[in-house]
């Protein structure tokens, strides 16, 4: 598939309604995550990254918490497998290093384990369920 030209930006959750739209589309509608599990108090303090296509439409998002937890990685279905998630993850890893973090971690859906392994993450512990979806904890030393 052809690589889409994107622009990455760090934004706050409250200043960018597109974040909510992407996560509703991917997690709540597509993956059937209960809405009450998707939204939490971390959104207001997290550092969010968004990817915009050449038309300026938000097509992906993720977030970084101050403790090094990367999460809520969501790419609209039609834009997957084009390197957008990798680009966002790399930018989050750069930002984590700049913030002085020594390690980052995430809870990866089992279907995404390979994606994170390709970026240097390692599986930690046993599989667990989150919002009805199997996950593994993964971390990466920076």
Asked, for residue 2, whether it belongs to a domain, the answer is no
For residue 29, give the DSSP letter: I
Residue 99 pLDDT level (bands cut at 50, 70, 90): very high
Q: Give the residue among 11, 99, 121 at the shortest CA–CA distance from 60.
A: 11
Structure tokens at 100: 């002085």
- Taking residues 56-79, report their average pLDDT: 96
pLDDT of 3 strictly over 90: no
Q: Which domain holds residue 64?
A: 7-141
Structure tokens at 36: 């009450």
Element housing 113 (H / E): helix 113-117
Check residue 4 and give its pLDDT. 67
d(CA 137, CA 122) in angstroms, rounded, equals 8
Question: What's the structural domain count of the chain?
Answer: 1
Please report, for the domain that includes residue 82, its CATH number.
3.40.630.30
Asked, for residue 111, whether it belongs to a domain, the answer is yes
- Taking residues 51-64, report their average pLDDT: 96
Rounded to two decimals, what is the model's pTM? 0.93
pLDDT of 34 strictly over 70: yes
pLDDT of 61 strictly over 90: yes
């Amino acid at each position: 598939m052809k690589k889409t030209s994107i622009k990455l930006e760090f934004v706050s959750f409250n200043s960018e309604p597109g974040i909510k739209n992407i996560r509703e589309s991917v997690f709540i509608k597509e993956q059937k995550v209960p809405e009450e599990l998707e939204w939490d108090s971390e959104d207001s303090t997290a550092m969010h990254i968004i990817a915009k296509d050449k038309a300026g439409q938000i097509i992906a998002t993720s977030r970084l918490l101050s403790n090094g937890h990367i999460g809520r990685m969501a790419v609209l279905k039609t834009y997957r497998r084009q390197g957008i998630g990798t680009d966002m993850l790399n930018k989050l890893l750069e930002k984590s290093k700049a913030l002085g973090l020594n390690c980052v971690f995430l809870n990866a859906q089992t279907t995404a384990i390979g994606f994170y392994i390709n970026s240097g993450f390692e599986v930690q512990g046993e599989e667990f369920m989150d919002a009805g979806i199997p996950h593994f904890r993964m971390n990466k030393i920076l």
